[in-house]
């Protein structure tokens, strides 16, 4: 009798076990009360908990609970649920920062998941690296930047495990969720899977394309769902057909309800939502799918979250990534000998590049911007999303030279490059700088031979990383790059430490600009 593989057994178990309702459905009134009273401060805490008893037992006890203030709710939950763990990050004396970060992979790595009944976790069959802090699961776009450091540390075993996990998620759910939690299933994050495959392809060759091509095609189909039946001037889920017939993409979410991990914040924002379209929660969730949650990019008036209109916007970064995705699909189809399919993806990439330049390039301002397809113009909100066409090799040489000038004149700061030029109190705006945006800017500039500015940005970013680490022993999720003596801020939760993508980008920059060889 043929022996069943461990992965097959894992899949069978998941199919039977993963019928858990999302926390709002599973716990209903208890969920709302805990989140709205902020019994745990961070709304993400409760939705990550695992119950100690069967739901009907807990709900029966809750129905009998007389007092339901924040303190009483907290005590009730602590008595009936297991709190989610956040392993501390330790520093071994005598290690350099580079050595510490290489050691830190073990702290941030989770083994394949065990299945826990009524947990929101979507179990994965292989090991993976989490960002750290409140982020206790795998995150989609974070992982690409984490992998930059894993490659420097020669941890291709972990890179492949994470790619296998993502392929598993695509196969099971049709896309890669924001993270492996059931409350994230209605949305994805920026589509870096093709770039991750390319990273492993650099090490292992065409066998990587062959292995992951089915997953690549299936995820691409998720992003393009509905494109073939759209009429010009209409949108469906993540695709928009413009009046000239060009198809570009937007961020979206299929669930028009408050995010469960930020329930109180979304309910509060919706009360003052200024548009009359009934899409407050859809726009907030689409902003979360973008990874830029939240930013002036998505605000109609630039400054206020209550004017959020993410689904009206064709993001320059998303469409640059999908251009790169189509290019990788073309290369992968060639590698497996399917020349007709390769040509099809080549044509799609050519059309997208032309549309990207037509709709997102502002000739007067000499920079790439998001495009508002309801207003039929570029948003002209200055952000580092405008460097993504350089990262994806979708800009002309002249455009790249102009982007370089803008980055140097408008975005360069003492600690690297600033996310946007606006102070909104949101975390994806000034004065904050983020590891992924430093990497994308540096890589984009290097693609077009602008190595001096790329090196300046990388060195300034590493300096602020090192300065904060020396003072605190921590690597942070984001940094204040305008005043490196102050902390970053904004957003829905305190700055987290750990931190996967910061570690990864620092190691990559160190290997590129400070070390003759990787340590």
DSSP codes joined into one string, 347-398: HHHHHHHHHHHHHHEETTTTEE--EETTTTEE----BGGGGHHHHTT-S-HH
User: Active-site residue 206, yes or no?
Assistant: no
Query: CB neighbours of 116 closer than 8 A, spacing ≥ 6?
Result: 50
User: Active-site residue 137, yes or no?
Assistant: no
**Whole-number Cα distances in Å, 58 to 27, 53, 55, 62:** 9, 6, 5, 6
Catalytic: which of 253, 293, 309, 429? 293
Query: CB neighbours of 177 closer than 8 A, spacing ≥ 6?
Result: 122, 140, 169, 184, 185, 187, 188
Catalytic: which of 142, 317, 477, 497? 477
Comparing C-alpha atoms, which of 321, 347, 320 is closest to residue 333?
347
Beta strands in 392-481, from DSSP E residues, in sequence order: 412-413, 416-417, 432-434, 478-480
**DSSP element (H, E) containing 27:** helix 23-36
**Whole-number Cα distances in Å, 398 to 367, 394, 401:** 11, 12, 5
**DSSP element (H, E) containing 240:** strand 239-241
What does the block give as tokens for 257? 């309800």
Structure letter (DSSP) for residue 407: I
Alpha helices in 205-289 (DSSP H): 206-224, 263-271, 280-289
* Residues 76, 402: Cα–Cα separation, whole Å: 59
What does the block give as tokens for 44? 């993400």
Beta strands in 49-106, from DSSP E residues, in sequence order: 50-51, 81-82
* Residues 424, 298: Cα–Cα separation, whole Å: 12
How many Cα atoms within 13 Å fall on the side-chain side of residue 489?
A: 9
Query: CB neighbours of 275 closer than 8 A, spacing ≥ 6?
Result: 300, 307, 309
**Whole-number Cα distances in Å, 496 to 125, 133, 145:** 27, 5, 16
Which positions are catalytic?
293, 477
């Amino acid at each position: 009798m043929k022996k069943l593989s461990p992965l097959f057994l894992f899949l069978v178990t998941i199919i039977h076990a993963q019928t858990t309702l999302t926390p709002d459905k599973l716990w209903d009134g208890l969920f709302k009360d805990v989140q709205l009273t902020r019994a745990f401060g961070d709304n993400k805490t409760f939705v990550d908990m695992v119950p100690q008893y069967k739901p009907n037992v807990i709900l029966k006890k809750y129905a009998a609970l007389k007092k339901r203030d924040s303190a009483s709710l907290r005590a009730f939950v602590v008595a009936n649920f297991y709190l989610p763990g956040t392993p501390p990050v330790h520093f071994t004396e005598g290690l350099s920062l580079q050595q510490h970060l290489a050691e830190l992979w073990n702290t941030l790595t989770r083994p394949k998941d065990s299945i826990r009944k009524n947990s929101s976790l979507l179990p994965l069959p292989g090991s993976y690296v989490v960002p750290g802090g409140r982020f206790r699961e795998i995150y989609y776009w974070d992982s690409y930047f984490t992998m930059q450091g894993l490659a420097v540390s020669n941890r291709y075993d972990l890179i492949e495990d994470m790619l296998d996990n993502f392929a598993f998620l695509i196969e099971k759910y049709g896309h890669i969720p924001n993270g492996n939690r059931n409350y994230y299933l209605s949305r994805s994050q920026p589509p870096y899977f093709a770039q991750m495959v390319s990273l492993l392809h650099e090490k292992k060759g065409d066998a990587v394309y062959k292995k992951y091509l089915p997953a690549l095609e299936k995820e691409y189909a998720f992003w393009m769902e509905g494109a073939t039946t759209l009429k010009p001037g209409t949108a469906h889920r993540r695709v928009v057909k413009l009046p000239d017939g060009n198809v570009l993409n937007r961020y979206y979410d299929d669930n028009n309800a408050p995010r469960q991990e930020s329930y109180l914040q979304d309910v509060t924002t919706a009360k003052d939502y200024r548009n009359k379209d009934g899409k407050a929660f859809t726009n907030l969730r689409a902003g979360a799918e973008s990874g830029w949650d939240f930013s002036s990019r998505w605000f109609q008036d630039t400054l206020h979250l209550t004017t959020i209109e993410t689904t009206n916007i064709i993001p320059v970064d998303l469409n640059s990534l999908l251009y790169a995705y189509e290019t990788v699909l073309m290369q992968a189809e060639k590698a497996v000998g399917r020349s007709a399919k390769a040509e099809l993806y080549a044509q799609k990439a050519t059309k997208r590049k032309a549309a990207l330049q037509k709709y997102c390039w502002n000739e007067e301002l000499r920079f790439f911007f998001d495009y508002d397809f309801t207003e039929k113009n570029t948003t002209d909100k200055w952000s580092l999303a405008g460097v993504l066409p350089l990262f994806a090799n979708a800009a002309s040489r002249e455009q790249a030279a102009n982007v370089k000038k803008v980055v140097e004149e408008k975005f360069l700061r003492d600690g690297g490059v600033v996310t946007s030029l606006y102070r909104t109190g949101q975390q994806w705006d000034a004065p904050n700088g983020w590891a992924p945006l430093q990497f994308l800017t540096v890589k984009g500039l290097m693609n077009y031979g602008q190595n001096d500015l790329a090196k300046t940005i990388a060195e300034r970013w590493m300096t602020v990383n090192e300065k904060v680490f020396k003072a605190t022993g921590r690597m942070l999720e984001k940094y204040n790059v305008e005043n490196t003596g102050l902390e970053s801020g904004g957003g829905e939760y305190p700055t987290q430490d750990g931190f996967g993508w910061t570690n990864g980008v620092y190691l990559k920059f160190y290997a590129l600009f400070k070390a003759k060889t990787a340590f």
